[in-house]
Amino acid sequence: MKPNKKAAEMSIAELAAYIDQSVLKPEFTVNEVKKYIQEGIDYGCKTVCINPVSLPVAGEMTKGTGTGICVVCDFPFGLSTTKSRVKQAEEYCKRGDVFELDIVANYGYIRSGMWDAVRDDLMAVNNICHSYGTAVKVIFETDALTLDEVKRATEVAIEAKTDFVKTSTGFFSGGRSDGATLEVVQAMMDVAKGRCKIKGSGGIRTREYFLELIDFGIDRMGIGYKSTPVVLGVEGSAPDLKSSY
């Protein structure tokens, strides 16, 4: 949705509300996970986006803060059975502290034109998450898809009652790695027309592009832990950010 003022005029807190800080690298130690979750909290990010194994740590660390938990599900390939995906989602959501869940759509099915299967799968996941009050972001591995496939997948996800559609996992290999290009984000917006929100992920590493996407009307962005201070323009200042709000 278009903001009511230019991104360049927004406060740090207003800008941070657009960020899901990514803490997803599989090689992270527990101490590194804690470090980057804490940084996300200190920056005032909307959420920290974590792997399921980090839920207990994130639950304790975010309690009483303004930063929520976004957990990934069936990530990064989206190739579990629907029954398994629903069970995974319920296990996470029933904790009661998961604000949002990001799940990867089966993009092999999307490329195969199996739209009913895509819709039914997403509907099952959305239903269980919504029963716990958890919003769902559906990730399309957009670098593996054509624009027409992105558009059709967006419509199908909306039919399945998805809250957000999202570009890219950031873990795709064997093809291009453009991520959240304006072209892809525009394709999603053209179809969504306000019926669901748009999250951009992948390739958002500069402050200029971050601000451009906000002005463009994006609703949320997945930002790598290294890039959060860059896009906020507060490199090296995380511990003292509160005084800048």
Instruction: Please indicate whether residue 74 is annotated as part of the active site.
Output: no
Q: How confident is the model at residue 174, as a pLDDT? A: 81
Looking at 46, 137, 166, 197, which residue is catalytic?
166
Q: Cα(49)–Cα(71) distance, rounded to whole angstroms?
A: 6
Q: Cα(228)–Cα(58) distance, rounded to whole angstroms?
A: 18
Instruction: Please indicate whether residue 199 is annotated as part of the active site.
Output: yes
Distances (CA, A) of 11 to 89, 191, 220: 34, 30, 16
Q: How confident is the model at residue 84, as a pLDDT? A: 98
Residues with pLDDT less than 50, the chain: 239-245
Q: How confident is the model at residue 236, as a pLDDT? A: 65
pTM reported for the whole predicted model: 0.95
Q: How confident is the model at residue 176, as a pLDDT? A: 87
Distances (CA, A) of 19 to 13, 110, 173, 186, 211: 10, 27, 24, 19, 12
Instruction: Please indicate whether residue 63 is annotated as part of the active site.
Output: no
Q: How confident is the model at residue 130, as a pLDDT? A: 98
Strand partners, 220: 199
Going by C-alpha positions, the residue among 171, 175, 176, 188 that lies closest to residue 224 is 171
Q: How confident is the model at residue 237, as a pLDDT? A: 57
How far is C-alpha 21 from the geometric centre of its chain's CA atoms?
9
Going by C-alpha positions, the residue among 114, 182, 107 that lies closest to residue 138 is 107
Looking at 102, 121, 163, 219, which residue is catalytic?
102
Q: Check residue 3 and report its DSSP letter.
A: -
Q: How confident is the model at residue 175, as a pLDDT? A: 86
- Cα torsion through 75, 78, 80, 85, rounded to 10: 70
Going by C-alpha positions, the residue among 223, 165, 221 that lies closest to residue 190 is 165
Q: Cα(23)–Cα(6) distance, rounded to whole angstroms?
A: 28
Looking at 46, 137, 197, 199, which residue is catalytic?
199
Options 3.40.50.300, 3.20.20.70, 3.40.50.2000, 3.30.300.20; which CATH number does 7-236 get?
Answer: 3.20.20.70
| Structure token digits, residue 212 | 């451009």
